[in-house]
Structure 1
């Protein structure tokens, strides 16, 4: 907001009812003394009254910005994190929600957690949740958000009628949201395969008995990935072995291996251990290592002013006996520069530049497929000993990065993108 001053959204109880108001400090009063104070401040979709003079105790307070726009007072901005609904007040990663709410407070931006069930076009105020202490959350009547960050935490919750209805209603109400949904691996691989970036994709195909056999003969090791999987759950790795074939299965953060003496036995074991749903095959590539263990590169990207930018790059190193590099499965982090410099020395800058150029090109291709509705994504990338870059996966709802500086920049980037899509969809409300 131009020429904005500091204020607060406050909630207080009166006659047993929880009410919302706006409070302004002395600096605001001095600066705008020449303007008569109307009955309230327009905050998102509602006009919120000034706090009554006799109210001294507040249930909750949150800093916002207040400015004069034409003949009205306007406060905000107001954003929401869309969360899952169910048998709890809301479902999602509360640590991630807490961090974004905290960043919003620093930026004088009101951010609240919005359960999917709270999205109701019949109500001007929606029930949202704010952090009020260690592990404690409070429900408040909140203005409708001016933009929404979709963080429904699982594919199953995202497919519930409540979540689908919420996303549809937000669209009807012209409240912009990113990102629309989880990616499907098979769909992403098809998008990539149909674009010039296909050169970065290892050989990939749908799972079939003959297809798996042929790919093993060519590449010796093949990953089997569930199209709708996450955190490595359900991934399998088939490798040629002196005794026949080795099948490694990752489930519930642990890895088990089996030996099959022939292909028929292997195929039967694959059928026994695969998760329900579609799988894709992907050729395993020889990757550079760290501490003698395979590693890949986790890259966070966010969109600013319509252009994709690399927020940060981290390295994930496979755990002991694991077939994936996910930290929840025993993996650990390493510094990207240290890994690249160890392998490529003076050529490290060239490899870093190639990695960044590749992920940006990939992001633009994927975003076009989703009609530019994406605001952030992460990618799992590999680098082989020759310095070639390989694309393994893209995620529309990235997990929290363990690197503090990347995590901090990601929070700031989310708020920046929410402000951008809010500005693009802004419509002056009727007072």
Structure 2
């Protein structure tokens, strides 16, 4: 029998020890003679035909199949989190949503802290029993892993690095490998022959490079190469013979004025964050209801190819230099904005955004050895309808648009399944 039927993975505690079983009801149609044990990922567990009355810690639906008399169940996936054991770090709301999507598809998804990646057959994974209740249970090795280590510092931690190397050594596929560096991404886009989509940029912040770009453009952005949510971004606009400098820190925008180049450079040096910056020419963006806006585009890999899952618009707030919602921006419908600005040509502009996003995603993925499974992009559109690449994020935050968020969860499970199947061949 190849057609999968439904079963349950059950964890039972007895004598201080938790044991995993595969439960199969008599109605499942699998003869008991087919075997009393089943393979789940890399381990073999007992098959039971009645649920114990006491000691059940956790239950999870699964798919069961029999091939040449051998029972197997699964699939089993993990979300890689930072931290130690029960104090694992990451967005637990997102973990909960991913696990719930897996449950709806009978795929077991558990949270795997980096310090729980081991060489043994059984690993310690975390599952949610209720609000705020995450408990550890013995889990098989995952067949594929979704990396959601929540920030760059934790990604660089030796335990995280060791965990990712261990997954590679065990031939367990994982995505995504780490966070992007803006300067590297700009170089990838340029080298792929896609620089027509990239505003003029300099991959390092220096006085000569800044002076050069300011002499060619009315405004420029200075962006930390490893920044997020706009923190540390600066925008400089020429104002007659002087300059206006806006600095975004801790979700507040501060404005300064300089009457010439030298005091401007001193202001930049004073307010920049530690670390590297890139410089990028400011593109005159389309406006919606009087305010500049840009597009947030979510892309995922489906069956080996990149596809646009969805896009939304972020409209700038009244006193900010970015469109990020946490910094005062607001959400708008992409179709409404495109129709409002371009009328009947809106669909053509929309397709141009998609085409550019997919081309850039393919170039970035190729640079990272095809190890990416999703990314989001910030894309601007000018008055002529041309798209402009601003930045890409390897670990997208939750999209506020419910339909995009729901589709993204399904896409994560689809890609995990694809990776698992590819490795099993």
For normalisation by structure 2, the TM-score amounts to 0.96
Measured in 2, the distance between the counterparts of 1:88 and 1:48 equals 25
Aligned residues, how many?
Answer: 423
- Choose which of 153, 157, 161 in structure 2 pairs with 1:156: 153
Residue 240 of structure 1 deviates from its aligned partner by 1.3
Question: What is the DSSP-based 3-state SS (H/G/I as helix, E as strand, rest coil) of the residue aligned with 1:371?
Answer: coil
- Relative distance call for 1:318 and 1:133 in structure 2 (3 A) is same
- Which residue does the alignment assign to 2:171? 174
Structure 2 residue 122 is matched with structure 1 residue 133: no
- Which residue does the alignment assign to 1:279? 277
- Which residue does the alignment assign to 2:19? 19
Structure 1 residues 182-331: aligned runs within 5 Å: 182-205=179-202, 206-242=204-240, 244-331=242-329
Measured in 1, the distance between the counterparts of 2:2 and 2:378 equals 40
Residue 374 of structure 1 deviates from its aligned partner by 0.9
Q: Give the stretch that moved more between structures: 55-64 or 218-227.
A: 55-64
Residue 56 of structure 1 deviates from its aligned partner by 1.6
Question: What is the DSSP-based 3-state SS (H/G/I as helix, E as strand, rest coil) of the residue aligned with 1:50?
Answer: strand
Q: Deviations over 1:380-409 (max 9, x none)?
A: 100011111100001111111000000000
Residue 243 of structure 1 deviates from its aligned partner by 7.1
Question: What is the DSSP-based 3-state SS (H/G/I as helix, E as strand, rest coil) of the residue aligned with 2:118?
Answer: coil
- Which residue does the alignment assign to 1:3? 3
Q: Deviations over 1:14-33 (max 9, x none)?
A: 012122111112321xx222
Measured in 2, the distance between the counterparts of 1:372 and 1:76 equals 25
- Relative distance call for 1:198 and 1:54 in structure 2 (3 A) is closer
Measured in 1, the distance between the counterparts of 2:147 and 2:106 equals 21
CA contact (8 A) 1:247 1:259 kept: yes
Structure 2 residue 393 is matched with structure 1 residue 392: no
Runs of 4+ aligned structure 1 residues displaced above 3 Å come to: 51-54
Question: What is the DSSP-based 3-state SS (H/G/I as helix, E as strand, rest coil) of the residue aligned with 1:59?
Answer: strand
> Which blocks of at least 5 consecutive residues in structure 2 are unaligned?
none
- Choose which of 88, 91, 102 in structure 2 pairs with 1:90: 88
- Relative distance call for 1:421 and 1:136 in structure 2 (3 A) is same
Measured in 2, the distance between the counterparts of 1:135 and 1:51 equals 30
CA contact (8 A) 2:35 2:69 kept: no
Q: Give the stretch that moved more between structures: 154-163 or 319-328.
A: 319-328
Residue 342 of structure 1 deviates from its aligned partner by 0.4
Q: Give the stretch that moved more between structures: 56-65 or 164-173.
A: 56-65
CA contact (8 A) 1:243 1:260 kept: no
Measured in 1, the distance between the counterparts of 2:48 and 2:262 equals 74
Measured in 2, the distance between the counterparts of 1:370 and 1:124 equals 29
Residue 419 of structure 1 deviates from its aligned partner by 0.4
- Which residue does the alignment assign to 2:113? 115
- Choose which of 41, 44, 52 in structure 2 pairs with 1:44: 41
CA contact (8 A) 1:147 1:421 kept: yes
CA contact (8 A) 1:299 1:381 kept: yes
Measured in 2, the distance between the counterparts of 1:330 and 1:138 equals 37
Quote the RMSD (CA, aligned, Å): 1.5
Residue 140 of structure 1 deviates from its aligned partner by 1.3
- Which residue does the alignment assign to 1:369? 367
Q: Give the stretch that moved more between structures: 17-26 or 399-408.
A: 17-26
Measured in 1, the distance between the counterparts of 2:196 and 2:68 equals 54
CA contact (8 A) 2:86 2:136 kept: no
Residue 37 of structure 1 deviates from its aligned partner by 3.9
Residue 294 of structure 1 deviates from its aligned partner by 1.2
Measured in 1, the distance between the counterparts of 2:51 and 2:246 equals 68
Question: What is the DSSP-based 3-state SS (H/G/I as helix, E as strand, rest coil) of the residue aligned with 1:152?
Answer: coil
- Which residue does the alignment assign to 1:425? 423
- Which residue does the alignment assign to 1:409? 407
> Which blocks of at least 5 consecutive residues in structure 1 are unaligned?
none
Measured in 1, the distance between the counterparts of 2:354 and 2:424 equals 33
Question: What is the DSSP-based 3-state SS (H/G/I as helix, E as strand, rest coil) of the residue aligned with 2:159?
Answer: helix
Measured in 1, the distance between the counterparts of 2:59 and 2:106 equals 11
